[in-house]
C-alpha cells in the first residue's frame, strides 16, 4: 500500500502539467506560422451560378457579400423587368421586356424598336404601305377589278328602305278618320333619293289634307342629312307646289328631329319642326312622345293658315314590337290651332283644338 501511494503521488503533477504544455505549444505554433492556403481546385462556377452571385468566374479570390452578384449584374445593365428578374433571365426561365430608350443607361439604347416599344413622342405616324401584297401573286389588273367590286359591295352599295311611321285609325269627336305618315329612300351612305308623304282623311268626307315630297338627301355628318327638293299638296284646300330645303337626323340623347322650310309657287313661306323620342320600357314595349309645330311668314286665308305659329301637335304612343319590323300601338294626340289659324278655323265652323285616340301600326322593310 505504501508503494502504491507513493507512485500515485509522483504521477499526479505530471497529469496536470501535460495539458498545459500542449495548450501553450498549440498557441505558439499558430502565432508563428501562417495559415496554409487551400490547394487550387478546378473551377466549378457556371455562368448561371455566377449571375446569381453564388460564385465568380474570376480566378482571383473575391470576398462575396449577399448582394455582390446582383451588383455585378446591375452595373452598367439596363433596368430590370419586374416580371422577369435578372437571375431568372440568366437561367433562361423568361425574357425581360425591352426598357424604353430614355430609361436605359447611356450608350445602351435599344435599336430597331417599333410600335408600342417606342418611347412616347409626337413624331408623325409612318405612311401606310402603297402596294398590295396580292399583286405579287395575281395579275394586277385582275386584283384592281376585285378591289373595285369589294368597294361597291362593302363601301358604296345602294340600299332601299321603306318606313311607315304612322298608319292609324283616329277616334275624334264626330270626325273619326285615318292618318298616315311614311318615308322611303334609295341610295348609299352619302347620297339618297327620298320620298315622304303624310296626310289624313275624315270618314264620310274623303281626303282632308295630304302632301308628297321628293327630296335629294345628302349626309352632312354621321347623324344628320341635308335635304332639298319639291313638295306637292293635295286635298280640300288649294293645290300648292313648294320648293323645299330641310334636314333630318339624330340629335344628342337619341332625339329624332326633322325640320323644313317651304316656299310655294305663290310666294308663301312656311316652316315645320318636329321631333320624337323612343323610350324603351322593355325590349318589346316602347313609349314614344312626339311633337310638331308649324309656322307661316304670312296669312294664307285660302289654306286656313295664319301668320306666326299656326298650330301645335303633341302625341304619345305606346307600341309593342312583335318583331323589329312590325309594331302595333295605341296612343293619344292633342292638337291646337293658334292665333289667326284658330280664328280661320272657328270662322269655318271647326274646333280650334281637339283630342283623338289612335290605334295603328308602325312598320319598316
Residue ranges and CATH numbers for the domains of the chain are: 160-364 (2.40.160.40)
Which pLDDT score is estimated for 117? 78
Q: Convert the pLDDT of each residue in 170-188 to its tens digit.
A: 999 878 999 999 999 999 8
Which pLDDT score is estimated for 73? 45
Which pLDDT score is estimated for 25? 42
Which pLDDT score is estimated for 62? 43
More confident residue, 205 or 356: 356
Mean of all residue pLDDT scores within the chain = 80
Mean pLDDT of 208-227: 96
**Whether the model pTM is above 0.75:** no
Q: Convert the pLDDT of each residue in 228-279 to its tens digit.
A: 999 999 988 788 999 999 999 999 999 999 999 999 999 999 999 999 999 9
With beta carbons less than 8 A apart as the criterion, state whether 99 and 119 touch.
no
Which pLDDT score is estimated for 33? 46
Comparing 94-103, 213-222, 329-338, the range with the smallest average pLDDT is: 94-103
Which pLDDT score is estimated for 205? 87
Which pLDDT score is estimated for 133? 83
With beta carbons less than 8 A apart as the criterion, state whether 245 and 274 touch.
no
Q: Convert the pLDDT of each residue in 92-118 to its tens digit.
A: 777 776 655 444 444 444 456 677 777
Residue 132: in which H helix or E strand, if any?
Answer: none
Does residue 6 carry a pLDDT above 60?
no
Does residue 12 carry a pLDDT above 90?
no
More confident residue, 112 or 65: 112
Mapping DSSP to helix (H, G, I), strand (E, B) and coil, where does residue 48 land?
A: helix
Mean pLDDT of 6-19: 47
Report how far Cα 235 is from the mean position of its chain's Cα atoms. Answer: 48
Q: What share of the chain is helix, strand, coil (3-state, %, to 5)?
A: 25, 40, 35
| Residue 339 burial by Cβ neighbours in a 10 Å radius (0-12, 13-18, 19+) | middle
Q: Which long-range contacts (CB under 8 A, 24 or more apart) does 183-191 make?
A: 184/160, 185/160, 185/161, 185/217, 186/158, 186/159, 186/160, 186/161, 187/158, 187/159, 187/217, 188/156, 188/157, 188/158, 188/159, 189/156, 189/219, 190/218, 190/219, 191/216, 191/217, 191/218, 191/219
Which pLDDT score is estimated for 267? 94
Does residue 145 carry a pLDDT above 80?
yes
Which pLDDT score is estimated for 194? 98
Comparing 33-47, 143-157, 269-283, the range with the smallest average pLDDT is: 33-47
Does residue 14 carry a pLDDT above 80?
no
Percentage, residues of the chain above pLDDT 90: 52
Which pLDDT score is estimated for 127? 80
Amino acid at each position: 500500500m505504501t508503494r502504491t501511494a507513493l507512485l500515485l503521488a509522483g504521477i499526479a503533477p505530471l497529469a496536470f502539467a501535460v495539458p498545459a504544455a500542449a495548450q501553450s505549444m498549440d498557441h505558439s505554433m499558430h502565432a508563428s506560422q501562417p495559415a496554409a492556403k487551400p490547394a487550387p481546385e478546378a473551377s466549378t462556377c457556371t455562368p448561371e451560378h455566377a449571375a446569381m452571385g453564388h460564385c465568380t468566374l474570376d480566378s482571383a479570390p473575391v470576398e462575396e457579400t449577399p448582394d455582390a452578384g446582383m451588383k455585378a449584374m446591375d452595373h452598367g445593365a439596363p433596368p430590370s423587368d419586374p416580371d422577369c428578374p435578372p437571375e431568372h433571365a440568366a437561367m433562361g426561365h423568361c425574357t425581360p421586356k425591352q426598357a424604353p430608350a430614355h430609361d436605359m443607361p447611356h450608350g445602351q439604347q435599344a435599336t430597331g424598336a417599333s410600335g408600342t416599344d417606342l418611347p412616347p413622342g409626337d413624331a408623325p405616324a409612318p405612311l401606310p404601305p402603297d402596294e398590295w401584297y396580292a399583286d405579287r401573286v395575281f395579275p394586277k389588273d385582275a386584283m384592281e377589278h376585285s378591289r373595285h367590286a369589294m368597294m361597291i359591295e362593302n363601301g358604296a352599295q345602294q340600299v332601299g328602305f321603306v318606313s311607315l311611321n304612322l298608319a292609324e285609325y283616329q277616334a275624334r269627336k264626330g270626325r273619326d278618320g285615318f292618318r298616315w305618315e311614311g318615308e322611303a329612300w334609295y341610295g348609299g351612305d352619302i347620297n339618297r333619293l327620298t320620298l315622304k308623304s303624310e296626310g289624313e282623311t275624315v270618314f264620310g268626307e274623303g281626303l282632308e289634307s295630304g302632301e308628297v315630297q321628293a327630296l335629294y338627301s345628302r349626309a352632312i355628318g354621321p347623324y344628320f342629312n341635308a335635304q332639298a327638293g319639291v313638295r306637292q299638296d293635295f286635298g280640300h284646300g288649294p293645290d300648292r307646289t313648294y320648293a323645299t330645303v330641310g334636314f333630318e337626323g339624330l340629335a344628342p340623347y337619341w332625339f329624332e328631329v326633322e325640320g323644313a322650310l317651304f316656299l310655294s309657287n305663290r310666294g308663301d313661306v312656311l316652316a315645320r319642326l318636329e321631333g320624337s323620342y323612343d323610350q324603351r320600357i322593355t325590349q318589346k314595349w316602347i313609349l314614344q312622345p312626339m311633337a310638331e309645330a308649324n309656322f307661316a311668314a304670312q296669312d294664307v286665308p285660302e289654306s286656313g293658315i295664319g301668320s306666326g305659329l299656326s298650330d301645335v301637335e303633341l302625341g304619345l304612343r305606346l307600341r309593342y314590337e312583335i318583331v323589329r319590323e312590325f309594331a302595333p300601338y295605341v296612343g293619344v294626340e292633342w292638337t291646337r290651332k293658334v292665333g289667326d289659324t284658330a280664328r280661320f278655323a272657328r270662322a269655318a265652323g271647326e274646333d280650334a283644338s281637339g283630342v283623338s285616340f289612335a290605334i295603328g301600326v308602325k312598320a319598316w322593310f
